[in-house]
Amino acid sequence: MFRRRATAISAFAVFSAVSVILAGCSAPGSDDKSSGDSSGPIKIALVDAQSGQLSSLGAWELKGARLAVDEWNAAGGVNGRQIELGVFDDQGDPTTGTNLARKIDSEGYIAMIGTAESAVTIAMAPILKQAEIPNITSGQSPGLVAAGSEFLFLNGPTSTTYDETLAKHIVDKQGTKSIAMITNNGSYGKGEHDAFLKALQSRSVTPVADQVVTTDQKDFSAVLTGIRQKNPKVIFLGAEEVESGLIVKQARDLGITATFAGAAPQGTPVFIDTAGAKNAEGTIVSSPYLGNDISDASKKFATAYKAKFNEEAELHGAKAYDGTQILLAALKTSNVATGKALADAIRATKYQGLLGNFAFDTTGVGISATAIGTIQNGKLVAAAG
Amino acid sequence: MQITLQTIIGGVSLGAVYALVALGFSLVYRTMGLVNFAHGNVVTVGAYLASTFYLSTKLPFALAMLVAIAVTGLIGLIIERVLRPLENRDFDLMLIGTIGFGIVLDALVIMIWGATGRAVPSPVPSAPIEVLGLRIRTYDLVVLAIAAVATVLLVLFLSRTKRGAAMQAVAMDHEAATAVGIHVGRSNAIAFMIGAGLAALAGGLVGPLLYVSPALGGTLGIKGFAAAILGGFGSIPGAIAGGLAIGILDSFTAGHFQGYSELVTFLVFTVIIMVRPTGIFGERTVNRA
């Protein structure tokens, strides 16, 4: 009798353990084995979440990178060598990421695109630094800069830039001082929390509420009811697409009419779909890529993207496209160098991209400006004025 | 006070979903003594099926749910049929077998629907009801009502029908049940089928509340399993009480402990289980093997 109950409880332990192990060890993706010699294809790894809650990011990244690689391959590759893009699934999990970092090193990949998750990239950074594999990430946490690796580059601005621009718009321009914050305790949310709070403090604004949620949370009634009583004008969101969307949906159900504001995730279709277009209306977004109609380059990119994948291009695809273009340009100028020489070539690359003019500084940040947009009729558009 | 009440309301609707997941776990456990580790993945499959029929083929939500329940019920039957040769031989292999099925279902979901996920608009679009400053989503009421009806039907089936009574008999003593001519395999198959159907019901209902992605069932599976243990594994009222308790507990810890809420939820859970290892409605009579 007692054995049975013990089984039930140990089964619970097994259940939890199995979930962790499954998240940890399976790594579907390319398993090609060829050495990193100077003939044959140039091997570039793309590491991103291809499964799990963050997989939409990974899917966009893959499309952006794939588009850039295919364009180069169609034009004859780099120095006559084709580029081979190996795809690895990190499941948005840092442990899986570190395993993959060793894997791409041992399989002779010379550079890496991704990941879109700051926490995963930060976990991978020391291994990639040791292996001298340059990495162009789509993460934006200031923690990436703090990692201090000369092999780590960002294909966009850090949270500091996003949130400084956002605070400037909300506080300085609109004169709103009644601001609440909801951030999650993941790497991205933590970066957003610190960056936005700092931007507010430099303007002597204290948020009326500063709530932290977990990355896995589904019900936000307690947090939102507390915020509703403070009646803020603007609620800042520092969480990924799906979670932010759920927060907005539940907030509107609770009768909160405040405007939401955030950085890159709040401008994506996944956020808008999850929240519902009506609920997301008016959300203020700080982003380096406000839409596909901003410039000739972005129109061309969006057309090619649509033709290839039959869906609308958005920020993350554009970021990965830019990052991959920079990497390939650096490979070309350096005559397919590897290791430190390739990292130096990336740092020296000046590139006019979809997100702006890339000029890397010593910290690996290439872009240091964002623009303000708002969501109108379910689409992100540049803010008037 | 208002925050407290609103927090309870928020916790109850997810709690009802956890309860449905817990019911599926408990039903299979009380009948076979087996923990079905594929249960969380069946929830995901159910959520995808319901949302696919609702969004793509534009079936009414209720009909889409019924189709999803039927299809996942079939999946339950298949799992049981494959595992049947192991029944009463190697219990551990059966456990591993369900884990294997979970991985297969997970992979199938990603192959069929992709890894990205989808948002499901609420089938009850009307505005939340406002009572004394509290806002109650109409859809939450629908979820609660359906969960209640499903529970009542399940209890009636187990206590009033011949087939249900046979299942109870198998749960109590499968050798004696076999001796009086009850088909144990069929009993198990029905338990698996109903369990999978309940998983689809939970998944389909939770779709419009959350975001349907391959990761959906993982969280619900863990919470539902914890709910089943908390209520007393194998107990039907226990599953309901456990589900609601976990939902409300989760909601409260989120408000008070913010980033550490998950930790506190499971700490409280652990303490309760230590004090009362059989759970709230722990039954010892259904134990077997």
In this complex, is the C-beta atom of A292 within 8 Å of any C-beta atom belonging to chain B? no
Which pLDDT does position B135 carry in this prediction? Answer: 85
pLDDT number for residue B43: 94
Interface touch B254/A214, C-beta < 8 Å: yes
pLDDT at A9 exceeding the cut of 70: no
pLDDT in tens, B5-28: 888 888 898 999 999 999 999 998
Do the chains contact at A229 and B99, CB–CB below 8 Å?
no
pLDDT of A37 > 70? The answer is no
d(CA B38, CA B221): 9
Would the pLDDT of A247 be above 90? yes
Q: Which of residues 147-206 of B touch A (CB under 8 A)?
A: none
- Whether residue B188 lies inside any domain: the answer is yes
Q: Is A3 exposed, middle or buried (0-12, 13-18, 19+ CB in 10 A)?
A: exposed
Domain with CATH 3.40.50.2300 in chain A: 42-157+295-368, 160-287
pLDDT at A53: 66
d(CA A255, CA A176): 20
- A-chain CB neighbours of B226 within 8 Å are 12
In CATH, the architecture of A160-287 is: 3-Layer(aba) Sandwich (3.40)
Residue A28's pLDDT band, with cuts at 50, 70 and 90, is very low
Give residue A32's pLDDT. 39
Whole-number pLDDT of residue A13: 55
CA distance B231 to chain A (A): 13
pLDDT over 70 at A246, yes or no = yes
Kindly state the average pLDDT of the residues A220-235.
Answer: 89
A213 CB within 8 Å of a chain B CB: yes
Residue B112 lies in a domain: yes
Q: CB contact, 8 Å: A287 with chain B?
A: no
Query: What's the confidence (pLDDT) of residue A2?
Result: 44
Is A32's Cβ below 8 Å from some Cβ in B? no
Verify whether the Cβ–Cβ distance A213 to B254 is below 8 Å. yes
What are the tens digits of pLDDT across the range A176-191?
889 999 999 888 888 8
In a domain, B37, yes or no: yes
B121 — contact with chain A (CB < 8 Å)? yes
| Beta strand pairing call for A152-154 and B211-212 | unpaired
- Considering only the C-alpha atoms of chain A, give the largest distance between any 2 of them, rounded to a whole number of Å: 73
Distance between CA atoms of residues A10 and B277, nearest Å = 12
Comparing A186 with A1, which gets the higher pLDDT?
A186
pLDDT at B288: 46
Q: Concatenated DSSP letters for A233-250?
A: SEEEEES-HHHHHHHHHH
The answer to whether residue B280 sits within a structural domain is no
Write out the residue range of the structural domain in which residue B19 sits: 2-118+134-275
User: What does the pLDDT read at residue A384?
Assistant: 62
What's the number of domains chain B is made of? 1
CA–CA distance, B151 with B119 (Å, rounded to integer): 27
State whether B259 and A245 contact (CB < 8 Å).
no
Most distant pair of Cα atoms in chain B: their distance: 60
Domain spanning A42-157+295-368: CATH superfamily: Response regulator (3.40.50.2300)
pLDDT above 70 for A26: no
What CATH number should be reported for the domain holding residue B219?
Answer: 1.10.3470
Give the ipTM: 0.83
Side by side, which strands form the sheet with A135-137?
Answer: A83-89, A42-48, A111-113, A135-137, A152-154
Please, what are the averages of pLDDT over each run of 10 residues along chain B (289 residues)? 84 92 91 87 93 88 92 92 81 87 89 82 80 84 92 91 86 84 87 92 91 86 92 88 92 84 88 84 55
Instruction: Give mean pLDDT, residues A350-368.
Output: 88
Query: Is B128 part of a structural domain of the chain?
Result: no
Examine residue B157 and state whether it is found in any structural domain, yes or no.
Answer: yes
Q: Is the pLDDT of residue A311 over 80?
A: yes
Per-residue pLDDT for A29 more than 50? no
A56: nearest Cα among B214, B219, B153, B93:
B214
- Sorting pLDDT into bands at 50, 70 and 90, what band is A67? very high
Which of the four pLDDT bands, split at 50, 70 and 90, describes residue A35? very low
Non-local (6+) Cβ contacts of B177 within 8 A are: B166, B169, B170, B184, B187
Q: What percent of chain A has pLDDT over 70?
A: 89
For residue range A76-118, what is the model confidence (pLDDT) as tens digits?
989 889 999 999 999 888 999 999 999 999 999 999 998 988 8
Q: Which residues pair with A113 in a beta bridge?
A: A46, A136
Question: For residue A329, what pLDDT is reported?
Answer: 92
